[in-house]
Structure 1
Amino acid sequence: MSIWWSLQLRREASSVPLARRLLLGAMETAGVDTDITHELCVALTEACANAVQHGGGGGAVYRVTASIDGDVCRIEVTDSGPGFPADPPGPRRESQALAQGGRGLQLIEALSDASRFGNHPGGGGAVVSFDKVLKWREDALLRAS
């Protein structure tokens, strides 16, 4: 079984708890293990906070899309800001990111099984996407068979 949902939220700090609560409710209702749900909620909070803080440009909104397909949850947060810098990966980039904040992206990487940080093709905003393999409670409604 699979489900997905998408939200368009105002680029305001008050929208972050709303996104987190919706994800929490969906995961609890589906029967996802509490520890996995917590990790997903923390990662989502960091991705949304990034969109709120850096997603300026011409957009007053950002989008959160989440899906469960089998045993994998994928979450994507997109904004219409300037996107991520085009610096090549490596230690210099990591130290620059930490100096400017950047710990949220590292937290997303640590809490997920796969993460991607990029920009919309042709510019126009950042895309933060991460996947997490789910564990299910015994009473799970959506447990993959």
Structure 2
Amino acid sequence: MSIWWSLQLRREAASVPLARRLLLSAMEAAGVDADISHEVSVALSEACSNAVQHGGGHSEVYRVTASIYGDMCRVEVTDCGPGFPSGAPPRAGILTALDTRDLQPGGRGLRLIEALADRVRFDNQPGSGGAVVTFDKMLKWREGALLRAS
């Protein structure tokens, strides 16, 4: 068994907790460990906040897609803004030391997503622009979980 859902949300701050609550509810119903659910929901909140803040362009909406398949959760947040600057993609990997760039406003959400997820991709939509943040998290299950992989 698996779960898959997709939402189209308005680019407003109230959409962030809505997406987070829906994901947490799905993970709770599936039987995902509470600590893992929390980590995924925080990463989702950061990706959604980024889309709300920077995902302008020609659209007032952004899209969240999430799936649980086997022992993996994948979340993708796509907006219609300018995307990530070409030639200057976000730094890969988890930060190991604080530097002066990390003291500047903005950008810490992407680092937090990297720290919480097992695999992260920061891309732009082909042709139309817009950022695409995709992250995967290996799941742990509570005893008696409904979707636990066999």
- TM tier, shorter chain? over 0.9
Pick aligned residue for 1:119 from 119, 124, 137: 124
Please name the residue that 1:13 is paired with. 13
Please name the residue that 1:32 is paired with. 32
Change in CA separation of 1:62 and 1:95 when aligned onto 2, cut-off 3 Å: farther
Q: Please show how residues 1-145 of structure 1 align to structure 2 within 5 Å.
A: 1-88=1-88, 99-145=104-150
- Return the offset for 1:124: 2.1
CA distance in 1, matches of 2:83, 2:28: 32
- Return the offset for 1:87: 2.6
The 10-residue stretch of structure 1 (117-126 or 106-115) with the greater mean CA deviation from structure 2: 117-126
Structure 2 unmatched runs, 5+? 93-98
Percent identity, aligned pairs only?
A: 74
Please identify runs of 4+ aligned residues in structure 1 that moved more than 6 A: none
- Return the offset for 1:86: 1.2
CA contact (8 A) 1:83 1:123 kept: no
> Helix, strand or coil: the match of 1:136?
coil
CA distance in 1, matches of 2:19, 2:147: 21
RMSD: 1.8
- Return the offset for 1:2: 1.6
Q: Which amino acid aligns with 1:132?
A: K
The 10-residue stretch of structure 1 (70-79 or 99-108) with the greater mean CA deviation from structure 2: 99-108
- Report the TM-score when normalising by structure 2: 0.89
- Return the offset for 1:122: 1.7
Query: C-alpha offsets along residues 63-87 of structure 1, whole Å, 9 cap, x if unaligned?
Result: 0000011100000000000000113
CA distance in 2, matches of 1:78, 1:135: 26
Structure 1 unmatched runs, 5+? none
Structure with greater helix share of residues: 1
- Return the offset for 1:97: 7.1
> Helix, strand or coil: the match of 1:135?
coil
- Report the TM-score when normalising by structure 1: 0.92
> Helix, strand or coil: the match of 1:124?
coil
